[in-house]
Structure 1
Amino acid sequence: MPGLSRAQTRPVITHGLQSGDIAHDGAMIWARADREAKMLVEWSTTEGFDIVHAVQPLDIGAPTDFTGKLALSGLPSDQDIFYRVRMMDLADSNAISPPQIGHFRTAPAGLRDISFVWSGDTAGQGWGIDEDRGGMRTYATMLTHEPDFFIHSGDTIYADNPMETEVALADGTTWRNVVIEQKAKVAETLDEFRKQYLYNMLDDNVRAFNAQVPMMAQWDDHEVTNNWYPNEVLSADDRYTEKSARLLASRAARAFHEMMPTRQVAEEPHRIYRKIAYGPLLDIFFLDLRTYRGDNTPNDEAEGAPFLGREQLAWLKRELAASEATWKVIASDMPIGMIVRDGDENFENGANGDGPALGREQDIAEILSFIKHGRVTNTVWLTADVHYTAAHHYSPDRAQFQDFEPFWEFVSGPLHAGTFGPNDYDNTFGPEVRFSKAPTEEQGVNLPPSDGLQFFGKVDIAADTRVMTVSLLDMADEVLWSTELQPVLG
C-alpha cells in the first residue's frame, strides 16, 4: 500500500481565523488545528506581506481542543494589520498547512473617525445553518460596512437549544439545518460546549466576517443554559444529567475563552468584564450580569440583590471615573428597563415592574447615580438579548428613581436566531421607546431568520465633531432608524 504524501499529512486549520480585543498596539489572534501542532503567525502592514514580522510559535494540543490564542504586541497604532497563520506538525517540521490570512486595524492613538457594529444571539431556538438559504446572512451584511470591530453582546452560542435536521415553516417550506453530533442535545461536557462554538464557525459568512473584523465578545445565559444563575439546580429539566448550573458554567466559561479571541487576566482567567480603550474618542466597558448574580427571585428585595457583584461594581466606577475618552459605551448583556421573566413569579434581569428600585435594580441605580455625581459624561448603553431592535431614552422626569442624568440605551439582535418581542417595560428608570421593530401579534413568536427580522446596530463617531450616530439595521441592510447624539465637551 503506497504511503501517504506529505501534503496528506499536513495539519489543517479547521475553522478559520479570529482576531479580537484589539488595542492601539496589539490584538488577540485565534485559530484551531486538527491535531497537535505549532501555530505559526506572521504579520505585516501590507496585504502583500512585503515586510514580514514573525511571532514566537505556539504549541497547541488536546488540552485546549487544538485551539491556539496568541497576543500580538508591538504593533503600530491606527494601522491595517494583515496576519497569516499556518500550522506545523510537531513531528515533521516540513508538514505545514497552507496559510490562512486575516485582517484587523489597530486602535488609534489620536483622533480619527470610528465605525463599529454590535448585535447578539447566534444560532438560537433551533435555527442553525441552512446552506440553501445562504447560512447566517446577517454576518455578511455587517461585513459590507467594513467596521473597525464588532461587539457580540452575548448569547454567542445556544448551548441549551438542540437542533433538528429539518423544521417545517409556516409558509410550507422546510428549514434544513447542518447538524453535528454535539448540537443534537444540550451541552453538558466541556467538549459539547466547545463544539457549540465550532458549529457556528462552520458557516461561510461567519468565517469570512471573523477573518476581517475583530470581535469583542461577552456572554449572557445561553452560553450555559436559559436564565441560569450560579446557585441554580436544574432539577426539573430532564435533558440534563449534570444538574449543577455552577459546574456547567465553569465548563462553559472555559470553552468561551478557548473559542473566543478574548484577553484573559491571570487573577481571574474566566473573567468577562473588562475595558477596551479605542483612542481618545471611545472607551468600551463590558459588563457581566450573569456570573456574580444571586438567585432569580421576585426581585423585590428592599435591601437589594446581587447582580454585578461588588468587585465588578467597584471596577466599573473606578474605570468610568478614570476614562478620558469622549464617549463611554457600556456594553451590557441585558437591557435595563425591559421586563424579562423567569417563570411566573421570578425575574431574569433587573426590571421587575413599576415602582422604586428594588432587588437587582439597586445595582443599576448605584451605577447611574455614580455617573451623575461623578460627572461622567457621554455614556451610552448597548445590548441585545431580547431578539428585536429598539431605541430607549431614559429620563428621571419619567422615572421612580430619579438620581441620574438622561441617557440612551440601544438594543439590536438577533444575529441568527428566533425573533420575539416586544417586551413590557417598567418605569423605575423612566424608559421611553423612541423606536422598536419586533414581530406583530399576527406574525407570532420565534420567527425563523428567513422571515428577515434579524437585526444589528451600527455606531459612527466623527473625529471632527465627536458626534455619535447610532443606526439600527436589518439583515437586508435597511436602516430602520437613526439618531445623532451630541457630546458634552469640556
Structure 2
Amino acid sequence: MTQSPPAHSPELRAAARHFGRRGFLTATGAATALAFAVHLPQAAHAAEGSARSLPDDPFTLGVASGDPLPDSVVLWTRLAPSPYEPGNGMPRARFTVEWEIAEDERFAEVTARGQAAAHPEFNHTVHVEAGGLRPERFYHYRFRVGTWTSPVGRTRTAPAAGADPARLRFGLVSCQQYTDGYWTAHKHLAEEDLDLVFHLGDYLYEYPVDSAGGSRAYTDRTLPAVFARETETLTDYRLRYALYRSDPDLRAAHAAHPFVVTWDDHEADNNYAGDTPEDDVPPEEFLIRRASAYRAYWENQPLRAPQHPSGHDMRLYRRLHFGRLAQFDVLDTRQYRSDQAYGDGWQRPGPDSENPSRTLTGGSQERWLLDGWRSSTARWNLVPQQVTFAQRRNSTAKDYELSMDAWDGYPASRSRVLDGAASADVRNLVVLTGDVHVHYAFDLKADFDDPDSRTVGAELVTTSISSGKDGTERPGDWETYMAANPHMRFYDGRRGYVTVDLEPSRARADFKTVPYVTSPGAGLTTAASFAIEDGRPGLHDA
C-alpha cells in the first residue's frame, strides 16, 4: 500500500497553497490528497488476521450502541489491546468480529447474530446496524474475536412508527474534559432507568493532557507523552478517543444506554466556525485537520452509514422518531455556521451580528428542520443541539453583551427557526442544549426583548460532566443573569446531567448535580425539577 502523507505534512500544505482555497477544495488531485491525509481507504484490502495473534484483551474500550430505530440499533466496539499506542497494539490486518444480540442478558435465546470486519483503515472499529429487532424492546449485545468476549451492553429499540408509547425517559449530557476531573456523573447516569441518552457535544477536548491526567492527578499510573500535545492529526484524535473511552464511568454509561450523539467544537478545534479555525491558520489547512477530527469522531461513535464522513464533510444532523410521542431533530451548529461576529466572545450586539444573512445552521439544514416540523405528527418536538438558544444578557444595563458563539450571535437565524416553528404550528417545542458548563432552564419567548411576549417553548441546558472542574451552585454572575434574563427560570453552576421523563400529557425535567469532580466518589442530588405541559408552552413547577 502506498504510504499516505500525514495531515499537516509539508506536501499537503504546499498543495493547499498551490491550488488556493477554492481550487484546493474542488480539484480532483487535491481532493485525493485530502483523502490521503486522513488515510481514507478506497477499499478495505488488508489481509485477514488470525485472532490467535491477539494474546491480550482487545475490548479495553468497551461497547456502545446508538441511534435506535423500531427494528434496528447500531452496535459499536473497537479492538484495542494497547489503547494508548498508535494502531491500538493491533496487527495491520483485518479481523472478523462476531456479534450477537438477545432480549435476555444471559443470551439464552439469541435474537440476531452475525459477523463484522474490523479494518485497520478504520482503526479496528466496528459498526453493526443490527436489524430484524422488535420495537420498544430492551436488548443485550456482545462481541467476540478469537477467545475474547466483550463486556455486555444493553440497548433499546424505538417504538413502532404509529405507536403511542406511554413514556420515554432520556438523559442529557455534554462537555467531559478529561483533565478537569472524574466522570462521576457518568457513573450515576449508568445507574439511571433510561431509554436513551443524548450527548450534546464536547465528547472530547483537543487540549494537551499531562502525564498525571490533570485534576485527576493519578498516583498509580503515568500517561504517555503522546497525549501531551494538542490533537491535530488523525492519529492524535484516535488516541484521544482511546484515552476518553478508557474511563470506566464513561464505558459504564455507554454499556447501560443507547446514545444519540452530536458534536460541538472541541471534537475538532475550540470555537471553530465552518472552515474558520480558532487560530490564524489558513482554511485549507484547517479543513485537513477537520477531516481528521470528523473521521475519528465517526470511527468512535455508534453512528450509521449515512453519517460516514467524506473528507472534511460529514452530515451529522438527522431525525429520530419515537412513535407519535416524540420527534427529535438533532442539529449540527458547527459545520455550516457563519464566522462569529466581532471576533467572537461576549460582545455588544450590532449590525454585524444582526445581519440577516448570517446563519448558525446553514441554509440546507435550516430548510430540513423547518420541513420536518411541517410534516411532524409528534406530540413533542425536541431539538438536541449544542449552544444556548435563548437570549442571555450579561448585564441589566443598556450596553449589555451577548455571546457571539451562541444563537445570540445569530439572532436572524434564531428568528427564522422560531418563525418556522410558529408557521408549522409545532406542538410542544423543547430545545435541548449543552456547551456552557452550567444548568439553565429557559422559557423561549416570541420576542426576548419583551418579557411579556408570548412563550413559545422551553429550553433545557445541561451542565458539563467535568468541564470547569467542581463548579458552584451559584456562580458570581448568578444574580445578574437571573435579573437580566426574566425568561431564565433556573441557573446552577455545578457538574451533572439532566433527565427528562416524557409522557403524552407532560414532560418532567430533573437537573442532577454532583458536589465535586476533582475527587472521585461524589453523591448525586436533584437540584431542581420543572414540568412542561402538553399544549402549555414554557416551564412550570413540577
Q: TM-score, normalised by structure 1?
A: 0.81
**Percentage identity across paired residues of the two chains:** 22
In the TM superposition, residue 174 of structure 1 has moved relative to its aligned partner by 5.5
Matches within 5 A, 1:247-258: 247-258=288-299
Aligned to 1:302: 355
Aligned to 1:315: 368
In the TM superposition, residue 178 of structure 1 has moved relative to its aligned partner by 6.0
Aligned to 1:363: 413
Measured in 1, the distance between the counterparts of 2:222 and 2:283 equals 26
The answer on 1:118 being equivalent to 2:172 is yes
CA contact (8 A) 1:10 1:96 kept: no
CA contact (8 A) 1:329 1:381 kept: yes
Structure 2 counterpart of 1:119, which letter?
V
Question: Deviations along 1:327-379, whole A, 9 cap, x unmatched?
Answer: 11111110122369xxx998222214xxxxxxx21111101011112111101
Measured in 2, the distance between the counterparts of 1:108 and 1:471 equals 24
1:200 to 244, 253, 258: 244
Structure 2 counterpart of 1:12, which letter?
P
Matches within 5 A, 1:207-246: 207-232=251-276, 235-236=279-280, 244-246=285-287
1:392 to 420, 435, 442: 442
Structure 2 counterpart of 1:282, which letter?
A
Measured in 2, the distance between the counterparts of 1:13 and 1:267 equals 23
Residue 305 of structure 1: SS of its match in structure 2?
coil
Q: TM-score, normalised by structure 2?
A: 0.74
Aligned to 2:149: 98
Aligned to 1:470: 509
In the TM superposition, residue 168 of structure 1 has moved relative to its aligned partner by 8.6
Aligned to 1:355: none
Residue 307 of structure 1: SS of its match in structure 2?
coil
Q: Is there any run of 5+ residues in structure 1 with no aligned partner, and where? A: 88-94, 129-134, 353-359, 439-452
CA RMSD of aligned residues (A): 3.2
Distance verdict in 2 for CA 1:180–1:348, change over 3 Å: farther
2:408 to 332, 351, 368: 351
The answer on 1:52 being equivalent to 2:52 is no
Residue 100 of structure 1: SS of its match in structure 2?
coil
Residue 60 of structure 2: SS of its match in structure 1?
strand
Q: Is there any run of 5+ residues in structure 2 with no aligned partner, and where? A: 1-50, 81-89, 343-351, 395-400, 515-522, 537-542
Distance verdict in 2 for CA 1:426–1:274, change over 3 Å: farther
Question: Deviations along 1:305-329, whole A, 9 cap, x unmatched?
Answer: 1320110001001111212111111
Name whichever structure is richer in helix by fraction: 2
2:331 to 280, 284, 287: 287
Question: Deviations along 1:286-305, whole A, 9 cap, x unmatched?
Answer: 11110001222224243331
The answer on 1:20 being equivalent to 2:20 is no
Measured in 1, the distance between the counterparts of 2:338 and 2:447 equals 30
Question: Deviations along 1:427-464, whole A, 9 cap, x unmatched?
Answer: 99x761111112xxxxxxxxxxxxxx2121010013xx
Measured in 1, the distance between the counterparts of 2:251 and 2:308 equals 32
Aligned to 2:194: 147
CA contact (8 A) 1:304 1:361 kept: no
Q: How many residues align?
A: 438
Aligned to 2:21: none
Aligned to 2:77: 31
Structure 2 counterpart of 1:152, which letter?
H
CA contact (8 A) 2:74 2:304 kept: yes
Measured in 1, the distance between the counterparts of 2:393 and 2:296 equals 30
Measured in 1, the distance between the counterparts of 2:456 and 2:295 equals 38
Larger deviation: 186-195 or 301-310?
Answer: 301-310
Structure 2 counterpart of 1:485, which letter?
I
Aligned to 1:436: 491
Aligned to 1:459: 500
Distance verdict in 2 for CA 1:333–1:346, change over 3 Å: closer
In the TM superposition, residue 245 of structure 1 has moved relative to its aligned partner by 2.7
Structure 1 counterpart of 2:512, which letter?
L
In the TM superposition, residue 56 of structure 1 has moved relative to its aligned partner by 3.3
In the TM superposition, residue 183 of structure 1 has moved relative to its aligned partner by 2.4
Measured in 1, the distance between the counterparts of 2:377 and 2:278 equals 44
Residue 274 of structure 2: SS of its match in structure 1?
coil
The answer on 1:417 being equivalent to 2:454 is no
Structure 1 counterpart of 2:229, which letter?
K
Measured in 2, the distance between the counterparts of 1:106 and 1:165 equals 40
